[in-house]
Structure 1
Amino acid sequence: MNIGLLFIWLTHKPYQQQMNQEPLLNISVIIPVRNEASHIINLLKDIENQTYAKEKFEVIVADDDSIDNTLALVKDFQKVTSMRLIINSLPPKENNASPKKRAIHSSIQLAHGDLIVTTDGDCRVGHKWLETIAHFQSEKKAYLISSPVTFINDASNSIGNFWQKIQTIEFSSLIGSGACAMLIGKPNMCNGANLAYLKSVFHEVGGFSGNENLASGDDEFLMHKIASRFPDKVCFFKSQDAIVETESHTSFKSFYYQRKRWASKWKHYNNPFTTALAVFIFTANFSLIGAVTLYAFRLLDGTNLLIIFLLKFSAELLFLILVLSFLRKKNLIWLIPFVQLIYPSYVTFFGLAAQGKNEYIWKGRKLQ
């Protein structure tokens, strides 16, 4: 499998913008937020500095009952910004199973743009972000575009920063493998921190209906619905200008809840390929743990164990080097072998954890 990913990544070159004469779509950037006072202004300033013409896009901040001063900060920024900024202040709602879907759906009802672009309140974007997405959409006539996401890492050498670096490598493997699946027309994952889709297609496939009671999946379930109807219109945008950076987790607890939430989604997929792939990945990593166990009980010799690990890790190492280089994280390449050693246990742990009761803590709320 890793050899296949390596081949796909190498054979699909980064996007080169063409001299496109087609008209570019108006964009509505939707940012669902809750308690993002420490991040939201940085993101809004990034968007304000876009190379895309300001008359071609608007920004909708959907505040989901923040209990910090997020809403006040956005209102103050709204008074001084030159871009069109809409505040969608959501009223409190009890038993809200999926607050992020609610925030996005209600914002789409306010959107004037034909292309919806979603990101998160703790993200940072480059100045060509919207321009390159708009040109790619126009050239490919894509209905849904998944673009790359990575983590923000500071330059310190603290233990906390080491934890961030480990997360960045692990997350890069997910972004890279998801990109490859989409590049060959078999989309299995994407990330709502950097997602674009036609507003008309969102309505045509029924939006989030059918999984509105699940806490997660504002991105992937929608992607699968669009891909099932329009399989050749779902694209990965391999461009460094489109990279979005987001905050990594500062605690294992928050990391645990997010990864458990992600791992639990495969049970709800209607796509047999995606479900089979999830089972295969779990089985492949669990088999490595089994091989080590057999070696410990002298049921497998060291030579065969070494061959098994070399077959898995060699192609995987090259693939991760390429993905990290693309994401501008070359300084983390030296940590890949360490992540490779712990990854089988990580996949097995979350694969099993996701089979239990699926409760998560998100932005101070308990969700299922």
Structure 2
Amino acid sequence: MTIFLLIISGLYALFTFILWISWLRIPPFRTDIILADGPTITVIIPVRNEADNIKNLLADLSRQTYTRFEVIVADDSSTDNTLVIVQQYAQMAPFLLCPLPLSDERTASPKKRAITQSIALATGKLIVTTDGDCRVGPDWLATLAAFYVKTGAKLISGPVTFMNERTIFDAIQIVEFSSLIGTGACTMALKIPTMCNGANLCYVKEVFGEVNGFDGVDHLASGDDEFLMHKIAARYPNGVRFLKSADALVRTQTHQSWRGFYNQRKRWASKWRAYDSYLPSLLAVFIFLSNTAPVVAILSWLLGFLNGNVTLMVIGLKLLPEFLFLRQILVFLQKKSAVNVIPLTQLVYPLYVIFFGLAAQGKGYRWKGRDLN
């Protein structure tokens, strides 16, 4: 057992160190000009019951410095007045805003359906997706357009973080989420993309058609972002890029309830068995084992089966490289205040990973008032 724990912990330390170095080597992207004749963009916002948030996002879009865009808000049978708000805003918006009411039919993946139907109406060269509870800065679309022109990327993953953190629970979510954003960015830089986030995703409309959109994964409720990314990466191995720019940052809401947090994380965790590529599944298992190792080490030490020095080594191999990596990501995401919460997050994260790793084996979760698989 001692050798196994040290090997797993050592590999995790090496893995995290590689991520840290990869992050430092990703050049920050800065654009000092606004493209006068850049690519046209269609912003797609799938929504359900976002009456409290959607107007803020539409106001942000009204302040964009880049003007060659249209917006489609696909309303998935909201039971509040989300659709009415969008329809009213469309009459005064300084950009073309198309409300798209979707029929209230049972489907395995409501979000994939919303995006697919929106793309059928889109006129933009680039598709940009975000969520109804997000906020964006004035240079968001300008930065995405400039990055596309410079790199020719087929899919661009942008940074996402949380806003309005008020509690320790919020801060822990920020730290945990930053690890996902950072890992996704670094694996893209290493040409082995693993994850991205649909709250800030851009891809070429034509390429969506080339890979047949969500065909093959449309029976899964989650994964509108990552499964599409893997399909595009398989066709264009060098075409998936991370946009390391604060101007492209998208902010979303933390979960205020444990139930909402649980359902979202279970939804995310449930995807790993469906990947065609072995790498995301292998990474999921590796992260599970790496977070299990310190728990097993501490329990073994308490029961007298493991030497105290070995236990400290297992813990240290996880905590130190992880802290260095997370600190860099949080500073970039403009969440430097959350750095102080990294040790607390590291304390609870192994239990979190074990819990959701096991919870993902069961089917079903509740999302947006619906029971999904």
The 2-side partners of 1:22 and 1:80 are apart by 24
Q: CA deviation at 1:23?
A: 4.8
The answer to whether the aligner puts 1:363 opposite 2:365 as a matched pair is no
Tell me the residue number matched to 1:139: 150
Equivalent position to 1:9, from 16, 23, 27:
23
- Show the counterpart of 1:151: 162
Q: Deviations over 1:208-247 (max 9, x none)?
A: 0001111001100000000011010000111100010011
> Could you report, residue by residue, the CA deviation over 1:95-142 in whole angstroms, capped at 9, with x for unpaired residues?
x11100010000001101010000000000010000000000111000
Runs of 4+ residues over 6 Å off in structure 1: 18-22
- Structure 2 partner of 1:44: 58
Letter in 2 for 1:15: F
- Retained in 2: the 8 A contact 1:23–1:138? no
Shift of 1:306: 1.2
Matched, 1:252 2:258: yes
- Residue 333 of structure 1 and its aligned partner are, at CA, apart by 0.8
8 Å CA contact retained: 2:35, 2:66:
no
Q: TM-score by structure 2 length?
A: 0.94
- Paired letter, 2:259: K
Q: Which amino acid aligns with 2:88?
A: D
Q: CA deviation at 1:264?
A: 1.3
Q: Which amino acid in structure 2 is aligned with residue 27 of structure 1?
A: I
Q: Deviation of residue 16 (structure 1)?
A: 2.6
Write the distance in 2 (CA, Å) between the matches of 1:317 and 1:6. Answer: 10
1:128-181, CA deviations, whole angstroms, 9 ceiling, x for partnerless residues?
Answer: 000000000111000000000001124x4xxxx221111111111111111110
Tell me which amino acid in the other structure corresponds to 1:36.
E
Structure 1 residues 21 and 70: alpha-carbon distance in aligned structure 2, compared to 1, 3 A threshold: closer
Residues 159 and 181 of structure 2 are in contact (CA less than 8 Å); yes or no, is this contact kept in structure 1? yes
CA RMSD, aligned part only?
1.3
Q: C-alpha distance in 1, partners of 2:280/2:37?
A: 35
Deviation readout 1:178-216 (Å, 9 max, x if unpaired)? 111011111000000000000000000000000111100
* Deviation digits for residues 239-266 of structure 1 (CA, Å, limit 9, x no counterpart): 1000100111111111111111111111
Using the alignment, how far apart are the partners of 2:35 and 2:49 within structure 1?
Answer: 42
Do the aligned residues in 2 keep the contact of 1:361 with 1:367 (CA within 8 Å)? Answer: yes
Deviation at 1:322, TM superposition (A): 0.7
- Distance 1:19-1:70 versus aligned 2 partners, 3 A rule: closer
Q: Distance in 2 between matches of 1:208 and 1:129?
A: 26
Q: What is the aligned counterpart of 1:68 among 57, 72, 80? A: 80
Structure 2 residue corresponding to 1:171, chosen from 149, 171, 177: 177
For 2:367 and 2:195, how far apart are their aligned partners in 1?
20
**2: CA distance between counterparts of 1:163 and 1:75?**
36
Query: Within 1, Cα distance between the matches of 2:316 and 2:292?
Result: 16
Asked if residue 85 in structure 1 is aligned to residue 82 in structure 2, the reply is: no
Pair 1:273-2:287 in alignment: no
One-letter code aligned to 1:80: M
Amino acid at match of 2:21: F
2:310 maps to 1:296: no
Letter of the 2:82 partner, please give it. Answer: T
Written as runs of structure 1 = structure 2, the 5 A alignment for 1:1-368 is 1-17=15-31, 23-53=37-67, 56-94=68-106, 96-154=107-165, 156=166, 161-356=167-362, 358-368=363-373
Q: C-alpha displacement at 1:301, in angstroms?
A: 2.0
What is the CA-CA distance between 1:22 and the residue it aligns to? 9.8
When normalised by structure 1's length, the TM-score is 0.95
Q: Is the 8 A contact 2:171 2:338 kept in 1?
A: yes
Tell me the distance in 2 between the aligned counterparts of 1:21 and 1:327: 25
Partner of 2:3: none
Partner of 2:186, secondary structure, is helix
Contact in 1 for aligned 2:34/2:66 (Cα 8 Å) = no
Question: What's the % identity of the aligned pairs?
Answer: 53
Q: Mind listing any 5+ residue stretches in structure 2 that lack a counterpart?
A: 1-14
Q: Does the aligned pair in 2 maintain the 1:30–1:60 contact within 8 Å? A: yes
The answer to whether the Cα contact below 8 Å between 1:148 and 1:244 also exists between their aligned partners in 2 is yes
Amino acid at match of 1:131: A
The structural deviation recorded for 1:19 is 6.8
* One-letter amino acid of the counterpart of residue 288, structure 2: F
The offset of 1:346, in angstroms, is 0.8
C-alpha deviation, 1:286, in angstroms: 1.3
Any conservation in 2 of the 1:128–1:241 contact (CA below 8 Å)? yes
Counterpart code for 1:77: Y
State the alpha-carbon separation in 2 of the partners of residues 363 and 266 from structure 1: 22
In the alignment, residue 350 of structure 1 is paired with which amino acid?
F
**2:270 alignment partner, SS class:** helix
CA contact (8 A) 1:20 1:139 kept: no
Unaligned regions of 5+ residues in structure 1, if any?
none
Provide the C-alpha distance between the structure 2 equivalents of 1:126 and 1:18, rounded to a whole number of angstroms: 15
Q: Which SS does the other structure have where 1:117 is aligned?
A: strand
Give the 3 Å change call, closer, same or farther, for CA 74–21 of structure 1 in structure 2: closer
